[in-house]
Amino acid sequence: MNLLEVADLSVSFPGPSGRIPAVRNISLSLAPGECLAIVGESGCGKSVIAQAVMRLLPEGTEVLGDMYYHGQNLTHLSESEMKQIRGEEIAMVFQSPERALNPVIKIGRQLIQPQVLHKLCNAKDAELRAKGVLQSLGLDADWVMNAYPWMCSGGMCQRIVFAAVSLLHPYVVIADEPTKGLDAERIGELETMLSSITSSGKTSLLLITHDMEVAAHLADRILVMYCGMIVEEGAAALLLAAPKHPYTRGLLNSLPKNGFVPIPGMSPALTALPDGCVFHPRCPIADEECRKSIPQLRNGVRCHKC
């Protein structure tokens, strides 16, 4: 049984000229111990999916579809019921980790208290566990435990938040652009940390990233998004070795190791999406059919020509 299932999810935000479609008809599943990576350019809707699952979208957002965790429909739960799930069962690391930490409380207390509140261990053991995780992430544990978040860099805060999440042993971890702002050495350390999350076979990782290299290193499956829609999905090894959709091929060609060839043009604004296939204005193989009709997702790819 899958830990997490999203069925036909559509999310739109209010705008001056009508609703703005951020996510359209997204379906995905996450099995125990699996890493699913959602990749795509900024603004494609990756983070919106995560926020929808966590029920953290702002007031006025329209959410259609269903989201199931352990078989229960998250869309039907009350806010108090969702609070029991957030953190302890489904944990999320946001793009700006420094905002997830209280600037006026020492980091040690912020790592110890949740463990005690969730009855995982006593305060003394919680401190030892926290220091162990911090050290595994390459941090000076004694200094960090006595520091305030504002004394730490963005990269340090990122690792501290991951330490906080891992200490609670949730069933699902959602990592939203976890490598943002980190150098190559720290990315390697973080990849090791992320990989360890799924090593037990019980915890699943939903990885949201624009970094195809990170997705290649960690993901079992990859879901590629463009303008709020899935354009390709499949097993990571197969998708990376033989991408079908022109957008996926473009993302891979833009990697330095593949020649650093960028995709021509820019993603359209969500308020002015083109008719037909949303990628056709940038696609090298688009024809009249692509300009007129939206392709369906068939055999893991949304393309008239694939």
Q: Scanning the structure block, which residue is given the tokens 């435990």?
A: 145
Neighbours of 226 (CB within 10 A): 26
pLDDT band at 190 (very low <50, low <70, confident <90, very high): confident
pLDDT band at 166 (very low <50, low <70, confident <90, very high): confident
Structure confidence at residue 35 (pLDDT): 97
- Tell me whether strands 229-235 and 4-15 are parallel, antiparallel or unpaired: unpaired
- Helix, coil or strand: residue 117: helix
pLDDT at 237 over 90: yes
**pLDDT, mean of residues 146-163:** 89
**pLDDT, mean of residues 132-138:** 88
Six-digit token string for 305: 């020509």
pLDDT band at 189 (very low <50, low <70, confident <90, very high): confident
CA distance 160 to 117: 18
CA distance 167 to 112: 9
Structure confidence at residue 183 (pLDDT): 77
Short-list 49, 50, 54, 89, CA closest to 75: 54
Statement: the pTM of the whole predicted model exceeds 0.85 = yes
The residue type found at 258 is: N
Short-list 114, 107, 154, 158, CA closest to 137: 158
Which element (helix H / strand E) includes 9?
strand 4-15
Six-digit token string for 79: 């806010």
Six-digit token string for 7: 């069925």
**CA–CA–CA angle 130, 135, 137 (5° rounding):** 100
pLDDT at 157 over 80: yes
Q: Scanning the structure block, which residue is given the tokens 């960028």?
A: 262
Neighbours of 128 (CB within 10 A): 12
Query: Terminal CA-to-CA distance of the chain, rounded, Å?
Result: 31
**pLDDT, mean of residues 53-76:** 95
pLDDT at 178 over 90: no
Decide: 51 and 220 in contact? Cβ < 8 Å.
no
What's the whole-number average pLDDT of the chain?
93
CA distance 227 to 268: 8
pLDDT at 96 over 80: no
User: 187-207 as b/e, with b when 16 or more CB fall inside 10 Å?
Assistant: bebbbebbeebbeeeebbbbb
CA distances (Å), origin 193, targets 15, 39, 71, 217, 218: 39, 20, 28, 12, 11
**CA–CA–CA angle 298, 47, 283 (5° rounding):** 45
